[in-house]
Amino acid sequence: MKCIKCGAENNDSNKFCTNCGYELIDKSNPQEIICESCGAKNKPENNYCISCGESLKVAENINAAKLNLRRQNNYNRAKSKRKSIRHSTVESKNYSSAKKIGLKPVLITAAVIIISYLVVTLIDSRNDTNTSAVRTIEMKSANPAVEANVYEIASKFACSCGTCGEESLEKCTCTRAVEERQFIRDYLEKNGKQEDIVVALANRYGYLKSAYAKNYKVDVSKIWTGDALKSSSNLKDIIK
């Protein structure tokens, strides 16, 4: 059966067009005419009502108008439904796109934070590696006499780290110098004698200045002459 609205072909059993929703009327079985006066049903070919004799032309026109109106309403409802479906689909796509766009700043911000954290962590780890030695803290005594003795003993030595230019131990600020002065301080806190502390420091770290070597019993290999540690054969005159 062909739809008179859009021309689409439909099955004979269909009451409404599958393409546009318009009501289908079988031409081989046209609609009956309802008499407007008594309500009786009449065949399409009747000109007058079989029940009351009233002319059916007016009723036929009214019935045709009602049929057309019903068809138009069905068509409009189907059209509105299709439009609503299309609108919902577009809105869904727009929402998905907007949602993705809305997430982009969040993702970018999170990525920047993570990258910044990793960079800072990497820099800190390198600084920790490069400055781990500096973390040795020199805990000075609250007793001025102890600190004066630390300074006096340290002045008899050069720093033994080998990287600071062998600066005098009481002045050097490198980690090894801090460690050596702390060694002296710990001995002094235990009431150790200066002579014993000098020998102990020389035996452990070396670099006792040659000017003081003859005053203490230390191995000649631990004595510093101003440029390097000397062998015993080179230090006979210093010790005498």
What is the CATH classification number for the domain harbouring 145? 1.10.8.640
Does one domain contain both 88 and 123?
yes
Instruction: Decide if 197 is inside a domain.
Output: yes
Contact 72, 6 (CB under 8 A): no
Does one domain contain both 145 and 234?
yes
Q: Which amino acid is at 63?
A: N
- For residue 197, name the pLDDT band (cuts at 50, 70, 90): very high
Higher per-residue confidence, 44 vs 174: 174
**How many structural domains are present in the chain?**
2
Instruction: Decide if 141 is inside a domain.
Output: yes
pTM of the model: 0.40
Higher per-residue confidence, 76 vs 157: 157
Instruction: Decide if 9 is inside a domain.
Output: no
Whole-number Å distance between alpha carbons of 208 and 212: 7
Does one domain contain both 153 and 215?
yes
Does one domain contain both 160 and 120?
no
Query: Could you tell me the residue range of the domain that residue 175 belongs to?
Result: 136-239
Last residue of a domain, one of 128, 149, 178: 128
- Which range scores top for mean pLDDT: 78-87, 88-97, 121-130, 169-178? 169-178
Q: Which residues pair with 33 in a beta bridge?
A: 42
For residue 17, pLDDT over 70 is answered with yes
Q: Which residues pair with 208 in a beta bridge?
A: 157, 223
pLDDT tens for each residue of 105-154: 878 888 889 998 898 888 766 655 544 444 467 888 888 888 999 999 99
Does one domain contain both 79 and 97?
yes
- For residue 180, name the pLDDT band (cuts at 50, 70, 90): very high
Does one domain contain both 153 and 231?
yes
Does one domain contain both 64 and 117?
yes
Residue 208 DSSP SS3:
strand
Q: What per-residue confidence (pLDDT) applies to 93?
A: 67
